[in-house]
Structure formats: C-alpha cells, structure tokens
C-alpha cells in the first residue's frame, strides 16, 4: 500500500506531466481560437493579399538554410567527432556551443550592422536580401543539425569502426564508407530539424528585413518576420491572417518534427 | 574478365575520389564553423569595446541598470514558474510508476514542445491577454504576461533537459534502490536526483540564459503593453528596428548592448558546462 506522501508525489508528477504535455496543444488551441474569433468578427472576410509572396520567401529562404545548415552542421559534427584530434574537436565543439548560445537578436544585430551595409551595393540584384537571410539562418540552424548528428555519431557501435579498421580502412575511409551511410537518415533528420528551426525564426529575420528596408532594398520578409513585425508594431492585433500565419508556422514545425519520428530539438549539451 | 577488372578499377578510383571530396567537405565545414565563430567574436568585441570607450566620456546611450532590472523582473517571474513543474514532469517521464499512462504522452509531447516557435507563443499570449485589442493591458500586467509566456515557452525545454539529465544516471542505481525496498518516489528523490543534481542545475542555468535572450515574446507583449520597464532585448530590438541606421552614435551603444547580452548568456552556458563536467563523475 503506497504511503500518502508517495501518492501525493505521484499525483503532483502526473499533474505536471499533463501540463507539460498539453502546453503545445494549448498554444495551438489559443491560436485557433484567435483565428476563428477574428475571422467571425470580420464576417468571414480574411485578407490574404500579399501572403503568397511571404510564403514563397519563407519556403525559399528556409529550404536553402536547411540544406546549407544541415550540411554545415553535419560536416562540423563529422570533423569534430571522426577526423580531429582532441584540441581541434574541442575547438569545433566550442564554436558550435557558442553559436547555439547566441540569442536571435544578436544574429539580427550582426546582420543589420555588419552584413547589410557590406551588401548595400546589392551585388546579386533582387537575390541579395534572400541570400543574406539564408546565410544568417544557415549559421543559426547549423548548431541544431550538428548536435543531432553528433548524438547519432556517438551511437554508432565501436565494433563497426574496429571492423573497418581491421579490414584496412583509414579513418577517412571509415567515415566516408561506413559511418556516413549508417547515419544517412540521421543527416536527413538534421536537415529537417534545421528547416523547422529556420521557418519559425522571427527576431533575426525581422531585424534583418527592417535594416534592408532602411537601406532602401525592397524585399518580401519571411512569414515569421511579418507576423512579428505586425504584432509588435501594428495597431491592436485584430487581423486574423497574422494568427493564421502563426498557426501554420507552429503546425509546419510540429509536422517536421513528428514526420521523421525521431527526437529532435533536445539540448545541445546533454 | 577484362571488363570486370576495368570496372573494379573505375569503382576503386571513384570511391577514392568520393572519399577525398567527402573528407575535404567535412574539413571545410569544421574550419568554416570555427572561422565564423572567431569572426563573430572579434567583430562583436571590437565594436563593443569601441562603444564602451566612446561612452566613457559621454552618456552611455541606454540605461543599463534599468534594462538589467527589467530583465531580472521577467526572469524572476518566469524561472520559479518553470522549475517545479519541469522537475516533477521529468520525474513522471523518467519512471512509469510515477507518471502512469501520462509518461508516454509526455515523451511524445516533448518531441514537439521544444521546437515551438517563440512567435507562436507570443501571438497566443497577446491574444489571450488582450483578445485582439478588446481588453486593455496595463504595464505591470504586461511584465507578468511576458514572464508567464516565457515560462510556457521554456517548460518543455527544461523538462526535456532535466529528463535527459536523470536518464544519464545509470539505471542500476534505481534498480538497486527498488530492490532494497525503496518506494519509486524515494528512489527518485534520494538516489537518482542527488546524482543528477549538477545536470539539473546546469539545465536550469542554460534555460535562464535562453530566457534572458528571448526577444520575440518580450517585444510582442511589452511593446503592446507600453510598459516603462525596458528589458535588454526589447531595448536592443527598438534600437535595431526603430532608429535611423548608419549614424556612428547609434552603432556604438548597439554593439555594447549586444556584447553585454551575449556575454551574460555565454556566461550562463559556461557555468552550465562546468556543472556538466562534474555530472559524469558524480553520476557514476
């Protein structure tokens, strides 16, 4: 027979587990409620003009960032774990940890005060703003991809490496022909996680596109940046389209994570 | 026979080329990451130092104490709100006898929870507090709502971090405690938790650092509430987006404030890392 304290502790644990488990659903429900209420108040008329360009900009920028960030993160993970001596590995891990700790607004500062003035001449034409946005997101998403691939690398059985070494393979050959094929799925997951991270990034993108607008460069911001700017700067946020956009961002991030059926988004240092 | 030998030679040379290209790409990735981090640190440190030197003889350009106090208020609301629920939820996720059927739901939810975009939480918090502008928001209310929204954003993150920490303690400790007749909650509190304590504290520090640097939620809620308290991230965001750029007077305080923000967050992370270094020796 469990004691009273045990039952009380278990009840508290269950209550808190329920709260944590329901948190994403509660956020989803609030956004659905907001979108439905405001759409109803507007007699069902939701203004979606201009959103097509925003969606296209978001998809293009996030896809490029996911591919580059996934590749950069996976490459850094392989370089650190497989091909480097201990001091080099620690340096790469430190760099990745540093990027993982930097807040979005600091990336926004870097983009607005360093990159945007440097590209003010608009060397790539209309592509420049999106290239800058993708570059910033690439650096932001690489730590997520790197952490995932590193965790995968640590799970590759030692016996596999020993077998490759016994067969005469060098470290590079072991990495290229044994470890990389074994982690192919993991690398794809890292790219998807980078996509989920970049599609919801609001602060850095909003600061970047605001800086571009100040410089007179016309560009369509990403969806997260648009929602952020309108909620923060606009009149009392009564436009349902912003809540619908936030809802879609949340759903896309959730689907990306659930689709691969693996745990992502965990702490980088754990 | 001759054809298969030629094919084998081609395969070997192709594999060697692929191995070479892959190795070069991997080395480049590692070097690029380190070079980018070094460039970021160098630019931030140089600009921030110049900003500090420039402001030593003139007003600093932003009220540092007020900003830090405002950030402290929000952390003071958010951190206590998130500690106990995360710890208890992690206990439920660790041991089925404590969490029951909720353990599985929790583990599934923790896949999605940490990836929730901050702007979605900010939009939900704004809607919940003002109902699209129909309900007024007072400045003190804004601080509380921002703190609660930060706690909501970080609840799954901290739970997952604590859960990862307690799972690193070898399972033999739990089994031994249960075999010796300990109740599940006693085994968790008296045997597992002390061994995972450095990790839990490290997780808490890392989460506090993340909260300190969170911008989207703070800006969305506090800019609407019009509170006189301006946390560091809100002040930085206002300078970056609402002041005319290009002026030297505007650039120096920006770099200084960013340097301060990054330094505080990296310090939080560094402390978490130090605790992480201790955890393995204590958990074993």
Q: How does pLDDT run across B190-209, given as a tens digit for each residue?
A: 899 899 999 899 999 999 99
- Distance to chain B for A210, nearest Cα, Å: 6
Nearest CA to A244 out of A37, A18, A12, A58 is that of A37
pLDDT level of residue A235 (50, 70, 90 thresholds)? low
pLDDT of residue B52: 67
How far apart (Å, rounded) are the C-alpha atoms in residues B107 and B117?
19
Q: pTM for the full model?
A: 0.85
| pLDDT the model gives residue A268 | 37
**CA distance linking residue A164 with residue A171, whole number of Å:** 9
Q: Which span out of A127-136, A184-193, B148-157 was modeled with the highest average pLDDT?
A: B148-157
Is residue B251 very low, low, confident or very high in pLDDT (cuts 50, 70, 90)?
low
What's the rounded mean pLDDT across residues B158-165?
A: 92
DSSP A268: S
Interchain CB distance below 8 Å, B118 and A38: no
Disruptive mutation site among A103, A176, A181, A221 for chain B (greatest number of B CBs within 10 Å): A103
Output the pLDDT for position B278: 57
Q: Which of A13-27, B45-59, B257-271 has the least mean pLDDT?
A: B45-59
Q: Which domains does chain A have, with CATH numbers?
A: 46-260 (1.10.3720.10)
* Residues 148 through 187 of chain B touching chain A, CB cutoff 8 Å: 152, 155-157, 159-161, 164-165, 168, 183-186
Q: Which residues have C-beta within 8 Å of that of residue A124, sequence separation ≥ 6?
A: A131
**What is the mean pLDDT of the segment spanning A80-94?**
84
Q: Average per-residue pLDDT in chain B?
A: 82
Task: Please list every residue in chain A whose beta carbon sits closer than 8 Å to the beta carbon of residue B245.
Answer: 112-113, 211, 214-215
pLDDT for residue B53: 67
User: Looking at per-residue confidence, does B4 or A204 come out higher?
Assistant: A204
Residue A264 has pLDDT above 50, yes or no: no
* Contact between A203 and B118 using a beta-carbon 8 Å cutoff: yes
Q: Which of B16, B30, B39, B223 to mutate to test the interface with A (most CBs of A within 10 A)?
A: B30
DSSP state of B187: I
Task: Count other Cβ atoms within 10 Å, centred on residue A131.
Answer: 15
> B34 falls in which pLDDT band (50, 70, 90)?
confident
Q: DSSP 3-state assignment of A160?
A: helix
Contact A38, A243 (CB under 8 A): yes
Residue A106 has pLDDT above 50, yes or no: yes
Please identify among residues 90-129 of chain A the ones whose CB lies closer than 8 Å to any CB of chain B: 91-92, 94-99, 101-106, 108-110, 112-114, 117
pLDDT tops 50 at residue A90: yes
Provide the pLDDT for residue B10: 67
- Averaged pLDDT, A95-119: 87
Higher pLDDT, B232 or A263: B232
Instruction: Tell me the mean pLDDT in the region B113-127.
Output: 88
The predicted pLDDT at position A157 comes to: 82
Q: What are the C-alpha distances in Å from B142 to residues B105, B117, B279?
A: 32, 20, 38
Contacts of B130 in chain A (CB under 8 A): 236-237
Whether residue A53 is predicted with pLDDT greater than 70 in this model: the reply is: yes
Tokens of A149: 């691939």
Checking if the pLDDT of B75 tops 60, the result is yes
Classify domain B64-283 at the CATH class level. Answer: mainly alpha
Minimum-distance CB partner of B127 among A82, A207, A243:
A243
Percent pLDDT > 70 in chain A is 90
**Exposed, middle or buried: residue A60 (CB in 10 Å: 0-12, 13-18, 19+)?**
middle
| pLDDT given for residue A257 in this prediction | 76
B86 touches chain A (CB under 8 A): yes
A59 touches B188 (CB < 8 A) = no
Q: Which two tokens stand for residue B9?
A: 């030679």
pLDDT reported for residue B132: 60
Choice between A58 and B252, residue whose per-residue pLDDT is larger = A58
Contact state of B23 with A175 under an 8 Å Cβ cutoff: yes
- How high is the pLDDT of residue A21? 92
Average pLDDT over every residue of B94-110: 87
For residue B82, pLDDT over 70 is answered with yes
Average pLDDT over residues A123-142: 87
Higher pLDDT, B254 or A74: A74
User: Per the structure block, which two tokens stand in for B70?
Assistant: 């405002």
Stronger pLDDT, A62 or A268, i.e. the higher one: A62
pLDDT > 90 in chain A, percent? 20
Region class of A124: left (phi > 0), else alpha (psi between -120 and 50), else beta: alpha
Angle between helices A86-101 and B248-283 (to 10 degrees): 120
Q: At what angle do helices B2-56 and B248-283 cross, to 10 degrees?
A: 120
Buried b (16+ CB within 10 A) or exposed e, B105-136: bbbebbbbbbbbbbbbbbbbbbbbbbebeeee
pLDDT (mean) for B139-151? 86
Does position A263 have pLDDT exceeding 60, yes or no? no
Output the pLDDT for position A270. 30
Q: Say what the pLDDT of residue B11 is.
A: 67
Spell out the alpha helix ranges (H) of chain A: 4-41, 51-81, 86-101, 104-110, 116-118, 128-155, 158-166, 171-174, 180-182, 184-199, 203-214, 223-233, 240-260
Q: Residue B71: which H helix or E strand, with range?
A: helix B64-94
Continuous segment of H or E residues that includes residue B65: helix B64-94
- Which residues of chain B neighbour A207 with C-beta distances below 8 Å? 237, 240-241
- CB within 8 Å of B144: residues ≥ 6 apart: B77
Which percentage of chain B shows pLDDT scores above 70? 80
Non-local (6+) Cβ contacts of B124 within 8 A are A27, A30, A31, A34, A246, B149
């Amino acid at each position: 027979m469990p004691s009273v304290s045990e039952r009380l502790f278990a009840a508290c644990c269950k209550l808190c587990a329920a709260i944590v488990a329901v948190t994403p659903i509660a956020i989803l429900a609030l956004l659905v409620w907001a979108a439905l209420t405001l759409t109803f108040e507007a007699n069902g008329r939701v203004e979606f003009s201009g959103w097509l360009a925003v969606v296209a900009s978001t998809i293009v920028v996030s896809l490029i960032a996911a591919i580059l960030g996934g590749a950069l993160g996976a490459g850094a993970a392989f370089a650190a774990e497989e091909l480097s001596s201990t001091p080099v590995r620690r340096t790469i891990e430190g760099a990745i940890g540093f990027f993982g700790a930097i807040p979005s607004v600091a990336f926004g500062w870097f983009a607005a005060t360093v990159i945007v003035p440097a590209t003010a001449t608009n060397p790539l034409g209309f592509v420049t703003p999106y290239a800058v946005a993708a570059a910033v997101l690439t650096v932001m998403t690489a730590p997520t991809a790197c952490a995932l691939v590193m965790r995968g690398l640590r799970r590759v059985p030692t016996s596999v490496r020993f077998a490759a070494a016994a067969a005469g393979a060098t470290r590079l050959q072991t990495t290229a022909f044994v470890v990389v094929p074994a982690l192919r799925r993991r690398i794809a997951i890292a790219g998807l996680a980078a996509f989920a991270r970049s599609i919801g990034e609001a602060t850095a993108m909003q600061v970047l596109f605001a800086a571009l607008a100040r410089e007179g460069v016309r560009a369509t911001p990403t969806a997260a940046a648009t929602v952020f700017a309108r909620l923060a700067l606009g009149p009392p946020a009564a436009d349902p389209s912003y809540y619908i956009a936030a809802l879609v961002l949340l759903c896309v991030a959730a689907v990306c994570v659930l689709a691969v059926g693996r745990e992502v988004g965990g702490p980088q240092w754990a | 026979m001759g054809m298969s030998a030629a094919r084998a030679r081609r395969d070997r040379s192709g594999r060697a080329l692929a191995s070479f290209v892959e190795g070069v790409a991997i080395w480049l990735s590692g070097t690029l990451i380190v070079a980018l981090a070094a460039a970021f640190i160098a630019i931030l440190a140089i600009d921030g130092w110049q900003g500090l030197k420039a402001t030593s003889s003139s007003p600093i350009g932003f009220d540092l104490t007020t900003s830090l106090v405002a950030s402290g208020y929000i952390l003071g609301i958010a951190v206590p709100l998130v500690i106990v629920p995360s710890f208890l939820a992690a206990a439920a996720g660790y041991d089925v006898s404590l969490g029951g059927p909720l353990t599985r739901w929790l583990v599934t939810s923790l896949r999605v929870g940490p990836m929730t975009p901050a702007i979605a939480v900010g939009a939900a918090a704004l809607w919940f507090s003002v109902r699209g502008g129909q309900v007024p928001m007072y400045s003190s209310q804004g601080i509380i709502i921002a703190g609660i929204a930060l706690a909501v954003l970080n609840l799954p993150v901290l739970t997952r971090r604590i859960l990862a920490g307690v799972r690193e303690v070898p399972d033999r400790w739990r089994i031994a405690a249960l075999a010796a007749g300990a109740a599940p909650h006693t085994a968790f509190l008296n045997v597992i938790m002390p061994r995972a304590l450095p990790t839990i504290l490290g997780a808490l520090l890392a989460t506090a650092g993340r909260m300190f640097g969170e911008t989207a939620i703070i800006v969305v809620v506090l800019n609407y509430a019009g509170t006189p308290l301006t946390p560091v991230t809100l002040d930085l965001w206002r300078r970056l987006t609402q002041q005319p750029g290009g002026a030297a007077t505007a650039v120096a305080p920006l770099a200084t404030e960013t340097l301060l923000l990054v330094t505080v967050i990296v310090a939080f992370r560094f402390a978490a890392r130090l605790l992480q270094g201790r955890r393995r020796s204590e958990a074993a």
